[in-house]
Structure formats: structure tokens, C-alpha cells
Amino acid sequence: MRSPLSPALGLVVVAALSACSPETTATADGSSPRPSPEPSAPAAASETPSPSPEYDEGTFEIECYYADSSSAEEFTDVGDAWEESDDIAGCSADYLGGDFTDKQDDAYEAAGYGNRHDLATLYELCAEPGGHVDTLGGTDGGLAPDQVEEFDGMLVLCPDHPQADAIREALDTARADAQLEEEGRKFDSGTFLVGDEIQPGTYYSEGRLDGCYWERTDSAGEIIDNNFISSGRRVQTTVAASDYSFHSRSCGTWRPVS
């Protein structure tokens, strides 16, 4: 016969079995206990967007396009664009941010703009190293006052522009022409009253003159003198103080002989 286990030996066996079993949580209803769940990993923190760049002064980004292809290059310094003068066909500019400097404010005032973001136009003019003299060369027809102001602002912003001297000379001519026109000593085709709309004097016109006609008339409308130039490069006439009116067509712009 097997002898029953002694109470002391039974306690040892129970203790051993308890040591080998996984850790469980006791339940009140006697159901099988389940292991405690492992803690979940913390959620990854969301990425913080990079802040927009801050500019110490008013900054404009200039994009210039090349004549020989559709490619373009970006600049923030107009001087860098001048180094590409032979290849650049045109430029555009955008304001990036920052407070405007005294120089930028002076350029803005000289240009007569109504919005400081319009300074982008001056940066476009500054970045384009060529072509401005050709643009200003159209002063035969008169350069609008706001155009003169705009180029004034450009020269404030970039006084060292490659064509700065030629631009200043062209602007001086434009201002002189505007003064002559205001005084009635510069005029184009049309009929003008002498002493009222235009002043007496000797005038000339130069350029390609095809079919140029002019006439001087008295108060009765009778022709005092006239001429027709079928083709020529220069025409000159004298308007007398006693003339009533002067009329011309296809003769270009009349200016006083110095």
C-alpha cells in the first residue's frame, strides 16, 4: 500500500507548482485568469511644420528668362543678373517679405507708386541689363510722366545699372521735350493756333518723311505758304507771329531749331 503524502511534503509541491506558473490575476467568479495586457507604445509625436523664413529687409526674388531657350534662373541680387547680360531676354520679380529699407522707400517715392509691392517692377527693370535705352528712345512721341518717374525710381534702386548714364541722358531729353510741349514749342500733326497753342519760331522735323505736308494760313483761311515732301529725312519751316494757324500731317514731331 502507498502511504499518503505527509502534510509537509504537500506544501512543498504546491509551492513549487506556484513558482513555475505564469503570473495571473485572480477572478472572483472562479474563471480561468488571463495574463495582464502589456502597455501599448506611446503614439509618435506629429511633425511641426518649418517656420517661414524671416527677412531682415525687403527681399525680392527675381526670375530672368534667357533668349536662346525656355530656361530661367532666379536671383535675389540684381548685380548677379547683370553678369548674364548677353543672354537675358526679360525678368519678373516677386516680393518675398521683410521691412523695406530707406533706399527702397526712396525708390518707391521717386517712382510715384501707390503700393510698395509695386517695387517688384523696379527690380525687374534693374535686373534687365539691356533694352532700356531702346525703350526710352521712343521719346519722339513723348514719354509719359509716370514712365519718367518709374525710371527715376529704378535709378534710385540700382544707380550702378550698366546703362545708367544712357538712361539718365534719355530722361533728361524726355523732360526737356515735355517742357517744350508745355510751352507750345513741340508738337505733332494737326492744326494749331499760332500764339495760343503753338509759338512762333523756326521748327524742324527729322526721320523718314514720306508724304509730309505742311501749311501756314491767315485768319481768313488763306494759305500763306506750304510744302509737300514726297520723301525725305528732314523738313524745316518758320512760323511767323502774324500767322493765324499752322497745319501739318505725316511730318513727325516738330521741334524748335536751336
Identify the pLDDT of residue 243: 98
Identify the pLDDT of residue 215: 98
For the chain, what is the largest distance between any 2 Cα atoms, rounded to a whole number of angstroms?
Answer: 164
Identify the pLDDT of residue 245: 98
**DSSP string across 38-80:** PPPPPPPPPPPPPPPP--SS-EEEEEEEETTSS-EEEESSHHH
Identify the pLDDT of residue 128: 85
Identify the pLDDT of residue 101: 95
pLDDT along the chain (258 residues), means of 10: 40 36 45 52 49 77 83 85 77 92 95 91 88 58 74 94 89 90 96 98 96 98 97 96 98 94
Identify the pLDDT of residue 136: 66
Identify the pLDDT of residue 82: 85
Identify the pLDDT of residue 96: 92
Q: What is the 3-state composition of the chain as percent helix, strand, coil, each rounded to the nearest 5?
A: 35, 25, 40
Identify the pLDDT of residue 53: 65
| Torsion sign (Cα): 186, 192, 195, 196 | negative
Identify the pLDDT of residue 36: 53
